[in-house]
Amino acid sequence: MDIEQKQNEFIDHFVKRASSLKGSALASVVTEATSHPSLFAFSEILAVPDVVELEGTEHSVYLDVLRLFAYGTWSDYTSNSGRLPELGSDQALKLKQLTVLTLAETNKVLPYDQLMQELDVTNVRELEDFLINECMYAGIVRGKLDQLRRCFEVQFAAGRDLKPEQLGSMIQTLSNWLTTSDNLSVSIQEKIKWADNMCGLNKKHRKEVEERVEDVKKSLSSKVNRNKTSDSLLKYWDILVDVPYIMAEVTNCKQADIDIRGHEEVYSEPGGVMDYEEDRSRPKRRRHPIS
pLDDT tens digits in sequence order for the chain, 291 residues long:
466 677 888 999 999 999 998 888 899 999 999 999 999 999 999 999 999 999 988 889 999 999 999 999 999 999 998 899 999 999 999 999 999 999 999 899 999 999 999 999 999 999 999 999 999 999 999 999 999 999 999 999 998 998 888 788 888 888 999 999 999 999 999 999 999 999 988 888 888 888 888 888 788 777 667 666 555 555 554 554 444 544 555 455 555 555 545 544 444 444 444 444 444 445 544 444 544
Cα three-residue angle 50-55-57, rounded to 5 degrees: 95
In this structure, how many other beta carbons lie within 10 angstroms of the beta carbon of residue 284?
7
- Single pTM value for the model: 0.63
Nearest to 39 by CA among 8, 75, 76, 81: 8
Cα separation, 163 vs 168, whole angstroms: 10
pLDDT value of position 290:
47
Query: Is the separation of the CB atoms in 94 and 34 below 8 Å?
Result: yes
Nearest to 75 by CA among 34, 122, 120, 114: 120
Domain at 89-162: CATH code: 1.10.10.10
* DSSP secondary structure, 117-145, as one string: HHHT--SHHHHHHHIIIIIITTTSEEEEE
Burial class for 65, CB neighbours closer than 10 Å (0-12, 13-18, 19+): buried
